[in-house]
Amino acid sequence: MRRRMRRGDGGSTLLLFPAGVLVIMMLSAVAVDLSMVHSGQRDLQRVVHSAADDAASDIDIDLLRDTGEISIDLEAARRTVTERLRSSSVAVDHIDTIRVEAGPRPNTLRVSVAATVRHVFGRAVPGVPELERVHATVISEIIEVP
């Protein structure tokens, strides 16, 4: 059974339509901002993982010659990670912190990087920060092959 539209019903639809469009636009803006942050996080993790693997190959040659022990040269590893991050096209606004240190087990290297990603639409909303912090931590290990 069809309901006939009364004379005053058309006006309420006209009032609800702009509100619905505004809600859809706001949800779309939130989705774009969250996608940008997630993309920056994923890209940073990928680049840090690659840089940590390259840095783990920086073996202390002098120690290897003197004692035959395999160990990671931390200074060379720091240089490798820093150069690799600077030369990469990571989708973050700014890299804040780069930490390269010995890992929890022998012959491991822990690389931690903190960066910021800029919001696209969130800056227009009061109370939303302009930048979002993202982190990536990777532990690489040297495996001795007999």
Is 33 part of a structural domain of the chain?
yes
Closest-CA residue to 85 (of 76, 74, 95): 95
Is 126 part of a structural domain of the chain?
yes
Are the CB atoms for 107 and 71 separated by under 8 Å? yes
Range of the domain at 40: 9-141
Is 146 part of a structural domain of the chain?
no
Is 1 part of a structural domain of the chain?
no
The string over 81-93, giving b where at least 16 C-beta atoms fall within 10 Å of a residue's C-beta and e elsewhere, is beebbeebebbbb
Are the CB atoms for 132 and 141 separated by under 8 Å? no
Is 39 part of a structural domain of the chain?
yes
Please give the pLDDT value at position 33: 87
Tens of each residue's pLDDT in the chain, 146 residues = 566 656 655 566 777 888 889 889 888 888 888 898 899 899 999 999 999 988 888 888 888 888 888 888 889 999 999 999 888 887 788 888 999 998 888 888 999 999 999 888 877 777 778 888 999 999 988 876 66
Is 53 part of a structural domain of the chain?
yes
Per the structure, how many domains does the chain have?
Answer: 1
Is 4 part of a structural domain of the chain?
no
Is 62 part of a structural domain of the chain?
yes
| Token pair recorded at residue 18 | 């702009």
Beta 131-141 vs 94-102: how paired, if at all? unpaired
Predicted TM-score of the model (pTM): 0.76
H runs (alpha helix) in 5-94: 9-56, 61-67, 74-87
Closest-CA residue to 84 (of 111, 116, 124, 117): 111
CA atoms within 13 A of residue 112's CA, in its CB half-sphere: 7
